[in-house]
Amino acid sequence: MAEVQVLDTPPYAGASGPDTNAVEFEVLARGVTCKAIYDRAALEQAPNAVTAILRYVAAGEQARVTSALPLKLATFDRRTAFIPQSIDQGDIASAIVVHPCSLLDVLLLVFDQLWRQATPLTADGSLRAAEEDGAFEPTEHDRRVLVLLASGMKDEAIARHLGWSYRTTRRRIATLMAGLGAETRFQAGLLAARAGWL
């Protein structure tokens, strides 16, 4: 096994939250690439979740955070996946093993898309802009939009200022926020400033 990818979201069996997992430390020590996307709800609900995740990151896990993950998922070498047998969030006692097929392809696409949109978590516990991994680089128009957002302008005013339609402006702002891994306009401004884009 060379790579494990995980979508981690409540509810949890037994202990609440992503508790310390000795198996993951062993896998990381063997040089296996582990990528995990954690649902922000897990961090907010479980008091020890952040501490446990930071231990994984310090051991080599690549972790990201996002809101409202659609399902729990674990993939192994992009050839096998485990998903809950039931979409009912209360039933997590059984799983389906997915081997190479179109369902596995879709699950991998979902993971990859969420990975691009999620905010990276560093070993010191800080969130950083996704562009630091080379995933996003703003254009000159993007920078102008970010400056106007940071100044507090509303979408309609930005559209008028740039001579764009309202829908184009909203779509561009949504793309910028996704590229930054931001969930709010405030977070987008903060991440853009940290990245030196303003």
- Return the ∠ at Cα 118 (arms to 27 and 190), rounded to 5°: 125
Choose between 156 and 127: higher pLDDT. 156
Query: What is the rounded CA–CA span in Å between residue 21 and residue 142?
Result: 41
> Among 19-33, 38-52, 61-75, 163-177, whose mean pLDDT is lowest?
38-52
Determine contact, residues 128/119, Cβ cutoff 8 Å: yes
All structural domains of the chain, each given as residue ranges with its CATH number in brackets, are 3-127 (3.30.870.10), 140-194 (1.10.10.10)
- Residue 194: pLDDT band by 50, 70, 90 thresholds? confident
What's the chain's average pLDDT? Answer: 81
- Residue 19: pLDDT band by 50, 70, 90 thresholds? low
3 three-class SS: strand
The answer to whether residue 193 scores a pLDDT higher than 90 is no
Cβ-based neighbour number of residue 9 at 10 Å: 22
Determine contact, residues 56/33, Cβ cutoff 8 Å: no
The answer to whether residue 130 scores a pLDDT higher than 60 is no
* Token output for 108: 């991998």
- Residue 9: pLDDT band by 50, 70, 90 thresholds? confident
Backbone φ and ψ for 7, nearest 5 degrees, come out as: -105, 120
pLDDT score, position 131: 42
Whether pTM > 0.75 for this model: the answer is no
pLDDT score, position 76: 97
Determine contact, residues 66/40, Cβ cutoff 8 Å: yes
84-113 mean pLDDT: 85
Q: Which of 117, 7, 19 is nearest to 72 (CA)?
A: 7
Query: What is the rounded CA–CA span in Å between residue 51 and residue 197?
Result: 31
* Token output for 194: 């940290």
- Residue 92: pLDDT band by 50, 70, 90 thresholds? low
